[in-house]
């Protein structure tokens, strides 16, 4: 090591040149934003061994969704302190493990976000064993969303994946084995909740856009990879790279426009998703109207009246709920209703809570039996740990049953009796709903739409930045790396993203091989 006494940045000397096993450089690039990170790294190194799990720094909303006075946002990882300082500039880090009030600002615009309580937990004495920060902010959606997006803009930070906090805690020996017992279930629930959330988000226009972008990008990357791996020995057609360049440029324009255009932001469909389903004419629409206290859906004695999914935001037992009325599930009907049935099934997959409805007086009919065998049984047989999807079986039209007792067979799963006509059984249903919703909404793992939106924005911005690097790179390996990073961001949103996909495209599009 050469020590330069005149070095204006003595911190350089504190950076160990390399890891024993990995002789690669550890200094971030010289971009302005990263200077702080470099400083951060240096101070960290000088004050002791690097924190365990020094991967990316993650953040998430860790309080449940629903109405609450205070929302808690957590970060974990080596850039936590850096993030805290950036959001609370010009103030320094607060004393460790002491609550302090700080004004949070968006680091990009300098706009104040909220006056919040912040807590700084330097590792290893923290929940995950890494450096952690907690932001206790006022619970309104605008504030929470603002802070999440501000964190997403800090270099080195990204939204947490399902179960990532817990996993890090576990990996760092912060959870004992009994605490871990329930962990797998929790992770499973988080994964499921995130999957459903992603399905909802990707259902709309944005999802369509994302998938299209990911496809374009995957193809462009595959062509660049083909040019690298086979460009010399095999004859690829002319202009492979030029074509990829054109596609990347178009993608860059589209992404940029999307991110600038605030109106294109996904309509926030917040609240727990409750879907009412059942065979035709069970009284689903009547229940929706009853729960929302307004005539949302047309009701008629004719089966198949509802042909599309009707959504209505309601407040149920104090929880924000998005109630969906769907077409009755049956086969062999006209194309319009068939489409309605398809949509109903799609919606069912995305539901947090399913209200399965049957006509109590018609339980022996083929459509009822079929419904019980398929929908109810498939959700019901899974143990709670296998699926975090919940289901309430409601038998409607109890007023039609004879007073001696209900007709339902003994092998019917647990159910509630209701009459939408008389309102009998409504209180019991509401109480059951309250319990289920408390479980759905109170679970901090349920991915709130706010975080989903922050995640979208984070990854789209990350993708756009990487595309910028692609353009600047003269070295083709560096350019390809930029496309890999860009694709990684998009496939976080759309799924997929393996190497095999790339190889499939290469071998489909080019004649290569010796």
Partner 1 sequence: MFYFRGCGRWVAASFTKLQFPLARLSSDSTAPRTPHFDVIVIGGGHAGTEAATAAARCGSRTLLLTHRVDTIGQMSCNPSFGGIGKGHLMREVDALDGLCSRICDQSGVHYKVLNRRKGPAVWGLRAQIDRKLYKQNMQKEILNTPLLTVQEGAVEDLILTEPEPEHTGKCRVSGVVLVDGSTVYAESVILTTGTFLRGIIVIGLETHPAGRLGDQPSIGLAQTLEKLGFVVGRLKTGTPPRIAKESINFSILNKHTPDNPSIPFSFTNETVWIKPEDQLPCYLTHTNPRVDEIVLKNLHLNSHVKETTRGPRYCPSIESKVLRFPNRLHQVWLEPEGMDSDLIYPQGLSMTLPAELQEKMITCIRGLEKAKVIQPDGVLLLLPRMECNGAISAHHNLPLPGYGVQYDYLDPRQITPSLETHLVQRLFFAGQINGTTGYEEAAAQGVIAGINASLRVSRKPPFVVSRTEGYIGVLIDDLTTLGTSEPYRMFTSRVEFRLSLRPDNADSRLTLRGYKDAGCVSQQRYERACWMKSSLEEGISVLKSIEFSSSKWKKLIPEASISTSRSLPVRALDVLKYEEVDMDSLAKAVPEPLKKYTKCRELAERLKIEATYESVLFHQLQEIKGVQQDEALQLPKDLDYLTIRDVSLSHEVREKLHFSRPQTIGAASRIPGVTPAAIINLLRFVKTTQRRQAAMNESSKTDQYLCDADRLREREL
Which residue of 24, 263, 267, 293 would you call a contact of partner 1, by CB under 8 A?
24
Distance CA 321, CA 324 (A): 9
Neighbour order of strands in the sheet with 310-316:
310-316, 319-325, 272-277, 353-359, 390-396, 416-417
Question: CA separation (Å) from 390 to 315, 352, 375?
Answer: 19, 6, 12
Residue 208 tokens read as 């369509």
Which residue of 8, 110, 405, 410 would you call a contact of partner 1, by CB under 8 A?
8
CB of 16 to partner 1, least distance (A): 9
Distance CA 102, CA 11 (A): 28
Distance CA 76, CA 82 (A): 11
Nearer to partner 1, 39 or 313 (CB): 39
Distance CA 137, CA 143 (A): 7
Which residue of 177, 332, 402, 411 would you call a contact of partner 1, by CB under 8 A?
177
Q: Is 405 in the site for partner 1 (CB under 8 A)?
A: no
Nearer to partner 1, 164 or 325 (CB): 164
Binding mask 184-223 for partner 1 (x = CB under 8 A): xx-xx--x--------------------------------
Taking CB under 8 A as the binding criterion, the range among 51-59, 285-293, 326-334, 374-382 that sits at the site for partner 1 is 51-59
Tell me which residues in 454-513 interact with partner 1 (CB under 8 A). Answer: 474-478, 480-481, 484, 499, 502-504, 506-507, 511-513
Which residue of 40, 225, 352, 359 would you call a contact of partner 1, by CB under 8 A?
225
CB of 256 to partner 1, least distance (A): 22
Q: Is 336 in the site for partner 1 (CB under 8 A)?
A: no
Which residue of 92, 233, 238, 302 would you call a contact of partner 1, by CB under 8 A?
233
Nearer to partner 1, 58 or 143 (CB): 58
**Rounded to an integer, what is the distance from CA 50 to the centroid of its chain?**
30
Where b means 16+ CB within 10 Å and e means fewer, 57-72 reads bbbbbbbbbbeeeebb
Burial of 332 from C-beta contacts in 10 A (0-12 / 13-18 / 19+)? exposed
CB of 233 to partner 1, least distance (A): 7
Distance CA 328, CA 360 (A): 16
Q: Is 70 in the site for partner 1 (CB under 8 A)?
A: no
Nearer to partner 1, 243 or 270 (CB): 243
Q: Is 382 in the site for partner 1 (CB under 8 A)?
A: no
Which residue of 7, 101, 103, 377 would you call a contact of partner 1, by CB under 8 A?
7
Q: Is 53 in the site for partner 1 (CB under 8 A)?
A: yes
Which residue of 14, 33, 54, 363 would you call a contact of partner 1, by CB under 8 A?
54
* Contact in structure between 44 and 51 (CB atoms under 8 Å): yes
Q: Which residues pair with 275 in a beta bridge?
A: 324, 354
Nearer to partner 1, 59 or 135 (CB): 59
Residue 244 tokens read as 């990829």
Residue 131 tokens read as 């450096």
Which residue of 205, 234, 346, 349 would you call a contact of partner 1, by CB under 8 A?
234
Nearer to partner 1, 29 or 411 (CB): 29
Q: Is 49 in the site for partner 1 (CB under 8 A)?
A: no
Residue 296 tokens read as 């949302």
At what angle are helices 205-230 and 183-203 packed, to 10 degrees?
A: 100
Length of the chain: 514
Residue 394 tokens read as 């409601």
Count CA atoms within 13 Å of residue 235 on its CB side: 2
Which residue of 70, 103, 142, 180 would you call a contact of partner 1, by CB under 8 A?
180
Please name which of 424, 353, 344 lies closest in space to residue 388, comparing C-alpha atoms.
353
Interface ranges with partner 1 (CB under 8 A):
1-2, 4, 7-9, 12-13, 17-18, 21-32, 53-56, 162-163, 167, 170-171, 173, 177, 180, 183-185, 187-188, 191, 225-235, 385, 474-478, 480-481, 484, 499, 502-504, 506-507, 511-514
């Amino acid at each position: 090591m050469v020590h330069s006494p005149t070095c204006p940045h003595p911190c350089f000397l504190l950076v160990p040149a390399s890891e024993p096993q990995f002789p690669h450089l550890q200094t971030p690039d010289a971009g302005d934003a990263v200077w702080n990170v470099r400083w951060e790294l240096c101070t960290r190194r000088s004050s002791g061994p690097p924190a365990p799990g020094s991967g990316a720094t993650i953040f998430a909303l860790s309080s449940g969704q629903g109405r609450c006075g205070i929302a808690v946002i957590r970060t974990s990882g080596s850039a936590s302190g850096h993030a805290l300082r950036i959001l609370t500039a010009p103030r320094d880090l607060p004393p460790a493990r002491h609550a302090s009030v700080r004004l949070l600002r968006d680091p990009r615009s300098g706009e104040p976000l909220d006056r919040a309580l912040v807590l700084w937990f330097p590792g290893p004495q923290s929940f995950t064993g890494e450096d952690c920060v907690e932001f206790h902010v006022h619970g309104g959606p605008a504030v929470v969303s603002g802070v999440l997006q501000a964190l997403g803009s800090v270099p080195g930070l990204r939204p947490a994946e399902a179960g990532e906090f817990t996993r890090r805690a576990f990996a760092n020996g912060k959870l004992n084995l009994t605490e871990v017992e329930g962990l797998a279930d929790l992770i499973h629930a988080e994964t499921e909740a995130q999957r459903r959330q992603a399905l909802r988000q990707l259902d709309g226009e944005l999802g369509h856009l994302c998938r299209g972008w990911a496809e374009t990008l995957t193809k462009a990357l595959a062509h660049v990879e083909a040019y690298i791996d086979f460009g010399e020995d095999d004859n690829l057609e002319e202009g492979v790279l030029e074509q990829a360049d054109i596609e990347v440029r178009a993608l860059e324009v589209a992404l940029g426009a999307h991110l600038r255009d605030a109106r294109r932001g996904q309509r926030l469909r917040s609240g727990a998703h409750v879907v009412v389903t059942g065979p035709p004419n069970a009284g689903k629409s009547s229940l929706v109207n009853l729960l929302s206290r307004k005539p949302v859906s047309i009701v008629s004695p004719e089966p198949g009246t509802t042909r599309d999914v009707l959504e209505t935001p309601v407040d149920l037992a104090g929880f924000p709920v998005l109630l969906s009325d769907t077409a009755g599930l049956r086969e062999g009907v006209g194309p319009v209703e068939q489409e309605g049935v398809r949509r109903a099934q799609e919606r069912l997959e995305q539901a947090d809570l399913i209200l399965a409805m049957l006509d109590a007086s018609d339980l022996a009919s083929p459509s009822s039996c079929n419904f019980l065998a398929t929908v109810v049984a498939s959700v019901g047989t899974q143990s709670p740990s296998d699926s975090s999807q919940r289901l309430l079986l409601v038998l409607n039209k109890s007023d039609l049953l004879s007073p001696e007792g209900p007709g339902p067979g003994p092998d019917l799963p647990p159910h509630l009796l209701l009459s939408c006509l008389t309102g009998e059984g409504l209180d019991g249903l509401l109480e059951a709903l309250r319990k289920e919703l408390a479980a759905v909404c109170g679970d901090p793992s349920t991915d709130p739409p706010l975080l989903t939106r922050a995640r979208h924005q984070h990854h789209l911005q990350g993708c756009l930045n990487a595309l910028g690097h692609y353009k600047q790179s003269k070295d083709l390996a560096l350019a390809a790396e930029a496309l890999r990073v860009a694709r990684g961001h998009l496939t976080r949103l759309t799924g997929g993203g393996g190497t095999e996909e790339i190889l499939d495209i290469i071998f489909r599009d080019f004649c290569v091989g010796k």
